[in-house]
């Protein structure tokens, strides 16, 4: 299994008024734009805003369904210096834009967040 990156779809409703986007997901979308070859290594899945997010919950549990979240594939390193790798059962994952950016830099040699 490849690493799987879950991002929220943009323009989601959350009450009255204009639709929203997730700033952290937008940041990671920007990283994917800067380094389009990442999509060959990481499977990107866009999920709806409302919780529960069944596809995410199935892999990393209800408590960890926040996005962005990167579920690590079978061949992923067990330890990455400077990155907090969390676990849910046998699955390992990285949460948040900065942590995911640091993981991409260490594992896939992209630029790193400043």
> What is the C-alpha radius of gyration for the chain, rounded to an integer number of angstroms?
14
Measured CA angle at 54 (ends 51, 59), to 5 deg:
120
For 15-48, give one letter per residue: b (16+ CB within 10 A) or e: eeeeeeebebbebbbebbeebeebeeebebeebe
pLDDT computed for residue 36 by the predictor = 98
The answer to whether residues 48 and 12 touch, using CB atoms and an 8 Å cutoff, is yes
* pTM for the predicted model, two decimal places: 0.97
The answer to whether residues 106 and 83 touch, using CB atoms and an 8 Å cutoff, is yes
pLDDT computed for residue 86 by the predictor = 98
The answer to whether residue 1 scores a pLDDT higher than 90 is: no
């Amino acid at each position: 299994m490849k690493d799987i990156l879950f991002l929220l779809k943009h323009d989601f409703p959350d009450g009255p008024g204009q639709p929203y986007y997730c700033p952290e997901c937008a940041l990671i979308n920007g990283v994917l734009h800067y380094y389009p070859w990442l999509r060959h290594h990481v499977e990107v899945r866009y999920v709806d805003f409302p919780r529960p997010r069944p596809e995410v919950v199935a892999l990393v549990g209800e408590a960890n369904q926040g996005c962005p979240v990167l579920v690590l594939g079978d061949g992923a390193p067990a330890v990455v210096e400077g990155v907090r790798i969390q676990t849910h059962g046998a699955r390992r994952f990285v949460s948040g834009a900065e942590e995911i950016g640091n993981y991409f830099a260490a594992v896939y040699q992209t630029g790193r967040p400043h």
